[in-house]
Amino acid sequence: MQYFPCFQPIIDINKMSIVGYEALARTRSQDGQIVSIGALFSDPSFNRADLLGIDRSVREQAIAYLSESPHNVFLSLNLSPEWMDHVADDMPVPTLEMAKKLGVDPSRILIEFVEGAGDNKNMQRLLARYRAAGMQVAIDDFGAGFSHLDRIISLEPDIIKLDMSLFKRAMSGGVSQEVVQSIAYLARRTGSKLLCEGVETEQEFYFALECGARYVQGYFFWPALPEFIDSNAPKEIIRGLLKGYVERNLNREKQLMLYTEEMEFYFLSIQSALKGHNLEFNNLAAPPDGILRVFVCDYSGEQISPNYEVANDRGERMWIVDNANVGSNWSMRPYFYQALAAKQLRQRNQVASQPYRDVRSGRLCQTIGKMLSGDRVLFADILCFGEDDKDNYGNSFYLR
C-alpha cells in the first residue's frame, strides 16, 4: 500500500492569502479514492515501528514537494511526541536531516505536536534543536483535554492551534466560549498566533474572527489537496467575508452605542437620587433592562450603602434593598481604582470594568463607577450588552 501527503491550505486572514499547508498522510482505498490514514495513529494493534516508517516517509515526501514548489509558503508537519521520545540527544533529528538533504530552508517548516503526550523535558530538548535550526513550533489541538499551561510557558509556540471540537462547542456560548476566549487572550499575551482549524461554515469563520484568529483552515475553504494552489486563491472570498463582518459589526456597534447612552443617562439619574449613603429610588424611573444593582463605597473601597437590587415582580422591574454586603471592601477590584484614577485625572465620565461573570446571576456583566463628592463612589453592575440576546455567533458585547 502506498502512503503519500496531501496538503490543506492555511489561510492568513490579514493577508487574505494562503501562507502555508498542513501535510496530512493519505492512501488510496480499493476503489481508488484518497482516504486519510489518521485512524492508524490511534490503533494500538498497528505495529509502531511500521507506523513510524510510514510517518517519516510521508514527511520526507512532503518536504521534497515543498523543495520543488515555486510557492513561497511554509509546510506544517504533525510530529507525534511519541516519535520525539525515540530521538536521543546524541542522535540526528530526522526532520532536520530531511530538510538539509532536500535543500529546504528550515524557517519554512512548522513543527506541530499534540499537547499532553510525551515526555516534557525530552520534548523541550528536541524542540530546542528544531528552533536552533530555524524551524517554528505549534501546539496542535490545544484545549482538547490536557491544556498544560507549563508547555505554553516553556515551549513558547509560534502558533497555537485551537482544538476543533472545543472551537465548535464554544459557538454555543457558555463555559466553552469563556475557555476559548481565555486561550485567545493567552495567545495574544505570549506572542503566539491563533489558528482555528475545522472551519466549515461562514458562521464558524466569523466566530474565528471573534476569537482573534490570525490563521484558519478547513473545508469551508479547501480540503487537503494533492498539490499546492495559487496563494491568492482565497483573496476574493476573504475580502467578501470581511466586508460582511464589518457590516455586521457596524450594526452591532450602533446598538452598543445606544445601549451605552441609555445606561449613562440612567446612571446620571441615579446620582441625582443619591442622598448621602442611600438611594431614594422611589423617585426614579423604572430601571431599564441591563441594570442589576447599585451600591455606594467610600474612598477606601468600603461599601457604605446596601445593594439596591433590581428585581422583576410580575413583569414590573423594581428596586429591593439587600444589606448583606454593607461593610465589604472592594478596593482590590479594578473598577474601584480605575474610578479613583479617573477622579485624580479630573475626568468626568464614569469608568467601566472588563466583563466578568456575576456570582449571583451567573450572567456576564460589568461594573461602572463614578467618584462623587463627600468621599463617595457610586457603582452600578450592569449586564454586558447582548448578554440576554446573543447574535448568531454566540457573542455578547460590552461597554468600552
CATH number for the domain including 298?
Answer: 3.30.450.20
Q: Are residues 49 and 184 in the same domain?
A: yes
Helix (H/G/I), strand (E/B), else coil: 294: strand
Q: Are residues 163 and 72 in the same domain?
A: yes
For 226-259, the DSSP string reads SS---TTTTHHHHHHHHHHHHHHHHHHHHHHHHH
Q: Are residues 59 and 201 in the same domain?
A: yes
Q: Which of 74-78, 287-291, 321-325 has the lowest mean pLDDT?
A: 287-291
- Could you give the number of structural domains in the chain? 2
Q: Are residues 173 and 142 in the same domain?
A: yes
Q: How confident is the model at residue 176 (pLDDT cuts 50, 70, 90)?
A: confident
Q: Are residues 292 and 347 in the same domain?
A: yes
Measured CA to CA, the distance from residue 391 to residue 397 in angstroms comes to 10
Q: How confident is the model at residue 149 (pLDDT cuts 50, 70, 90)?
A: low
Is residue 340, in this structure, part of any structural domain at all? yes
Indicate the DSSP class of residue 107.
G
Asked if 384 and 397 touch (Cβ cutoff 8 Å), the reply is yes
Q: Are residues 177 and 258 in the same domain?
A: no
Burial class (CB in 10 A: 0-12, 13-18, 19+), 206: buried
Give the pLDDT confidence score for residue 57 in this predicted structure.
96
Give the pLDDT confidence score for residue 157 in this predicted structure.
87
Is residue 388, in this structure, part of any structural domain at all? no
Give the pLDDT confidence score for residue 79 in this predicted structure.
86
Q: Are residues 34 and 174 in the same domain?
A: yes
Residue 115: pLDDT over 80? no
Q: Are residues 258 and 223 in the same domain?
A: no
pLDDT tens digits, 305-347? 999 999 988 778 899 999 999 999 999 988 888 888 887 777 6
Is residue 391, in this structure, part of any structural domain at all? no
Q: Are residues 112 and 60 in the same domain?
A: yes
Q: For residue 173, which of 21, 398, 388, 400 has the smallest C-alpha distance? A: 388
Residue 117 CB: number of other CB atoms within 10 A?
A: 14
Highest mean pLDDT among 79-88, 236-245, 286-295, 361-370: 236-245
Give the pLDDT confidence score for residue 151 in this predicted structure.
61
Q: Say which CATH number the domain at 210 has.
A: 3.20.20.450
Q: Are residues 35 and 170 in the same domain?
A: yes
Residue 147: pLDDT over 70? no
In DSSP terms, which residues pair with 366 in a beta bridge? 382
Helix (H/G/I), strand (E/B), else coil: 77: strand
Q: What are phi and psi of 49, to 5 degrees?
A: -65, -40
Q: Which residues contact 397 (CB under 8 A, 6 or more apart)?
A: 252, 255, 256, 384, 385, 386
Look at residues 184, 207, 233 and tell me which one is the last residue of a structural domain: 233
pLDDT tens digits, 212-252? 999 999 999 999 999 999 999 999 999 999 999 999 899 88
Measured CA to CA, the distance from residue 361 to residue 359 in angstroms comes to 6
Share of the chain above pLDDT 90, in %: 54
Please give the model's pTM, rounded to 2 decimal places. Answer: 0.82
Is residue 239, in this structure, part of any structural domain at all? no
Largest CA distance in the chain: 84
Query: Which residue range forms the structural domain that includes residue 172?
Result: 4-233
Q: How confident is the model at residue 399 (pLDDT cuts 50, 70, 90)?
A: very low
Q: Are residues 226 and 308 in the same domain?
A: no
Is residue 394, in this structure, part of any structural domain at all? no
Measured CA to CA, the distance from residue 226 to residue 8 in angstroms comes to 9
Is residue 342, in this structure, part of any structural domain at all? yes
Tell how far CA 324 is from the center of its chain.
36
- Alpha helices, DSSP H only, in the chain? 38-41, 48-68, 81-84, 94-102, 120-133, 149-155, 164-170, 174-190, 202-210, 235-272, 334-344
137 is written with which cell numbers? 513550533
Is residue 393, in this structure, part of any structural domain at all? no
Tell how far CA 95 is from the center of its chain.
30
Q: Are residues 192 and 260 in the same domain?
A: no
Is residue 281, in this structure, part of any structural domain at all? yes
